[in-house]
Amino acid sequence: MNVSGKTKVCAVIGDPIEHSLSPAIQNAAFQHLGLDYAYVAFTVRKEDLKNAILGVRGLGLYGLNVTMPHKIAVIQYLDQLDETARNFGSVNTILNKNGRLVGYTTDGIGLLNALNYNGVDPYGKKIAILGAGGASRSVSFALAREAKELVILNRTLEKAENLVNDLAVVSGKKAKLEAKRLCDEEIEKELKNTDILINTSSVGMHPNETETPVSPDFLDARMVVFDLVYEPLETTLLREARKIGAKTIDGLTMLVHQGAASFEIWTDKKAPIEVMMKVATEKLKNKKAQA
């Protein structure tokens, strides 16, 4: 990588950020297309977010990815939001347009593209989403206009109900929307006719790899099971789903596709998905080998 005074610098901010695969993924994409861009990672604590965004303006950083815990708080420091970011109420991508900071969210399009990449069409399907946090919000908003039925299952029912109420405002009531408590009784009932199951919770994430949000007894071979967790790459949920013959999609696919959408906002170029997938997979395997 040849960095000069003309190089456009992009970055990811969050806390923690040391684990991020984004620098490797984005720099590989820039280099593959011969673009004069560079991508770095910065740890930014909650109390330092305002100063960090001022730094983006002052230093002229070209673009940002924003990860936890800043996706909502960063909005107050931006000049403009695109329609999707306004609907989602969160931002994970920022473009610096000559000093004017515009916020986007690529989580939703990343999810839809990840499904499409794996040959899955969510249109007219019943989709069950586990969890009602920030990741669930992005996923459910993207799917509310595609699905025939969308059910949000969460341990705290009120949180799921609040999300469903927000979804009803932007979905145009195209999908049947329901909130259910995340418990065995409701999971078993809902999954009997679910086409796509998406886990947006952290259950099963390293170091708790043996955990799963759904008992294998409730899974069905005809459904698609998508786990947004990517470390480990094959969670217990995905492994059990694969054993019974269900189609599975791992969280790395989502990470790469939402990153690809950010890449396209910054560069106005088609992202090299296969290059990004290859680098992400290799980095994750090397990380596991070194652990």
Phi, psi of 71 (to 5 degrees): -60, -30
Catalytic-labelled residue, pool 46, 71, 174, 269: 71
Contact status, residue 175 vs residue 147, Cβ threshold 8 Å: yes
Q: Are strands 224-227 and 126-130 parallel, antiparallel or unpaired?
A: unpaired
Which of these, 257, 217, 258, 207, lies nearest to 237 by C-alpha position?
Answer: 217
**Annotation marks residue 148 as catalytic:** no
The 3-class SS string of 253-271 reads HHHHHHHHHHHHHHHCCCC
Query: Strand, coil or helix: what is 118?
Result: coil
Q: d(Cα 131, Cα 230) in Å, to the nearest integer?
A: 16
Contact status, residue 153 vs residue 86, Cβ threshold 8 Å: no
**Cα dist from 258 to 55, 76, 125, 156, 196, whole Å:** 24, 22, 22, 28, 19
Residues carrying an active site annotation: 71
